[in-house]
Chain A
Amino acid sequence: MATTVFMEALSPTMEEGRLVEWKVPEGTKVAEGDVLAEVETDKAVMELVARADGTLLKHLVAAGATVPVSDPVGVIGEPGEDISGIGGDGGGRGGGGGGEQGGGGGDSAAMTAPGESAAAAAAPPEPVIPAASAPVPPSDGGRVKSSPLARRIAKERGVDLAQVRGSGPGGRIVKRDLEGVTAGVAAPGRPAAGFTDVPVSQMRKAIARRLAESIGPVPTFYLTVDVGMERTWEAREALKAMGPEGKVSFNDIILKATATALRQHPMCNAWWQGTTIRQWHDVHLGMAVAIDEGLITPVIRHADQKTLRELSAEARALAERARARKLTPEEYTGATFSVSNLGAFDIDHFTAVINPPEAGILAVGTIAPRPVAGPDGGLAVERRMRITMSCDHRVIDGATGSAFLKTLRTMLENPLALVW
Chain B
Amino acid sequence: MATSFDVIVIGGGPAGYVCAIRAAQLGLTTAVVEKEKLGGVCVNIGCIPTKALLHSALVANTIAHDAKDLGIRVDGVTTDYGVAMKRSRRVSEQNSKGVEFLMKKHKIEVIRGHGILEAGKKVRVDKTVYAATKGAVLATGSRVKGIPQAGLTLDGKTIISSDEALFLEKAPTSMAVVGAGAVGCEFADIFNAFGTTVTLIEALPKILPLEDEEAADALTKSFKKRKMTVIAGAKVRKTTLKKGGGATLEVEAGGSTQTIDVEVVLVAAGRAVNTEDMGFEAAGVRLDERGFVEVARETLETTAKGIYCIGDVAGPPMLAHKGSREGIVVAERLAGQTPHPIRYDNVPSVTYCHPEVASVGLTEAACKERKLEYRVGRFPFSANGRARASGTPDGFVKLIADPKYGEILGAHIVGADASEMIHELAVARENELTVEEIDLTIHAHPTLSEAIMEAALDAMGRVVHI
Contacts and interface: CB of A to CB of B under 8 A. Distances in A.
Interface in B422-466: 431-434, 436-437
B405 A156 contact: yes
B434 A152 contact: yes
Interface residues of B, number: 11
A148 B405 CA distance: 9
A301 interface: no
B434 to A, nearest CB: 5
Given A174-B432, A175-B432, A149 B405 contact: yes
Contacts, number: 26
B355 interface: no
Contacts of A169: 340
A94 to B, nearest CB: 39
A148 B441 CA distance: 13
B404 A147 contact: no
Given A156-B405, A174-B432, A175-B432, A148 B437 contact: yes
Nearest to A150: B432
A181 to B, nearest CB: 15
Contacts of A148: 432-434, 436-437
Interface string A147-159: 1111011001000
Contacts of B405: 149, 152-153, 156
B311 interface: no
A337 B276 CA distance: 52
A153 to B, nearest CB: 6
B404 A156 contact: yes
A150 B437 CA distance: 13
Nearest to B407: A149
Contacts of B12: none
Given A156-B404, A156-B405, A175-B407, A149 B340 contact: no
Contacts of B340: 169
Contacts of A175: 407, 432
A149 B437 CA distance: 10
B146 interface: no
Interface string A124-164: 00000000000000000000000111101100100000000
Interface string A96-114: 0000000000000000000
A169 B407 CA distance: 18
Contacts of A150: 432
B406 interface: yes
| Interface majority SS (helix, strand, loop, mixed), chain B | loop
A153 B431 CA distance: 15
Interface string A165-200: 000110000110000000000000000000000000
A59 B432 CA distance: 35
A148 B431 CA distance: 8
Contacts of A168: 432
A153 B402 CA distance: 12
Contacts of B404: 156
A356 to B, nearest CB: 31
Q: Pick from B406, B432, B436, B437 the residue with the most CB of A within 10 Å.
A: B432
Nearest to B408: A149
A175 B345 CA distance: 14
Contacts of A153: 405
A325 to B, nearest CB: 14
A149 B340 CA distance: 19
A147 B436 CA distance: 12
A153 B432 CA distance: 11
A174 B436 CA distance: 17
Interface string B397-415: 0000000111100000000
B406 A147 contact: no
Interface in B177-227: none
A156 B434 CA distance: 15
Contacts of A152: 405-406, 434
Contacts of B436: 148
B171 to A, nearest CB: 48
A174 B340 CA distance: 14
A369 to B, nearest CB: 46
A174 B432 CA distance: 7
Nearest to A174: B432
A169 B341 CA distance: 11
Contacts of B432: 147-150, 168, 174-175
Most buried by B among A147, A148, A150, A152: A148
Contacts of B433: 147-149
Contacts of B406: 149, 152
A207 B340 CA distance: 50
Nearest to A173: B432
5 contacts: A147-B432, A148-B433, A148-B437, A149-B406, A174-B432
Given A147-B431, A152-B405, A152-B434, 20 more contacts: A147-B432, A147-B433, A148-B432, A148-B433, A148-B434, A148-B436, A148-B437, A149-B405, A149-B406, A149-B407, A149-B432, A149-B433, A149-B434, A150-B432, A153-B405, A156-B404, A156-B405, A168-B432, A174-B432, A175-B432
- Closest 9 interchain pairs by CB? A147-B432, A149-B432, A152-B405, A149-B407, A148-B437, A148-B433, A148-B434, A149-B434, A174-B432
